[in-house]
Amino acid sequence: MLKVYVAGHQGMVGSAIFRLLKNDKSINLITCSRRDLDLTNQASVQSFFKIHQPDQVYLGAAKVGGIHANNTLPAEFIYQNLMIQANVIDAAFQNGTKKILFLGSSCIYPKLATQPIIENCLLSGKLEKTNEPYAIAKIAGIKLCESYNRQYGSSHGIDYRSVIPSNLYGPGDNYHTDNAHVIPALIRRFHEAKIKKQKTVTVWGSGTPQREFLYVDDMATASIHVMNIDKKIYDKVTQPMVSHINIGSGYDLTIKDLAERIKSIVCYRGEIRFDLSKPDGTSRKLVDSTCLNMLDWQPQISIEQGLALSYEDFKENYSKYI
């Protein structure tokens, strides 16, 4: 039986991967909560891997947040993510894990990258300042996987891969008032404005930046697909030092359009105001998913479906966020 460890199984992406894998009777799923295993503690992680010795690892554990969180907690974002990645990847190697799928972020790409962004744009320009520490940590995770492959791939038979999702949303998202990403932040803001009968909802920035969004269940199916595809096929669309693959919906929209769609789904009747004193971030961020499409994968959930499903999930779990 294949032993598979999902690191971060209680997070949005990890929980989606866990939901899909738990139905496979040929897999022995391994999980451990943050309370029981601190992934920033090297000795604890080494001990965990020595005991369980998984065959595959989905590395979805990370400290994540929106623009506000990244701006106010840069040290935590770079330190914790560097430690998690280094500890898990090295412990996996030291204890015989042959396959890892590392989950990155599209913020790894330069702020002024040509759109849509292809994989080899990595390290070709300056990063967006608002999330630079987090992006640097994620780049390090990708390069860790690549470096272990280059040094130990042939001798130890390891195959460590990385995927770069566009902006994710869906069940299990973070709806915290201060550090949520844009979709969960807007869902909560419009919902509470409707309940309180507020006349306006404020959205950060000008509303003109364009963003691509991917429903988390699509991300989970793509991750499992990439993890298990034959290495010879995978190697045809990657290179030893450009080994990551983008995962996106292939469609982007402005923050203004997004806000209008969420307003409609929530059935909020007031007005939207844009706070120009707040940062916009990168003007556009659309990833090129050609390589993934060549591996015979396409997203299944549209933005309209995904937003509706996300709002239903939010309402069902609203008591957790009050």
Contact 254/208 with Cβ under 8 angstroms? yes
* Distance from C-alpha of 41 to C-alpha of 214, rounded to nearest angstrom: 32
| Beta strands 252-254 and 210-215, pairing class | antiparallel
Identify the active-site residue in 5, 134, 148, 311: 134
Residue 134 annotated to the active site? yes
Closest CA to 209 of 122, 88, 134, 111: 111
Beta-carbon count within 10 A of 313 CB = 17
Catalytic residue positions, numbered = 134
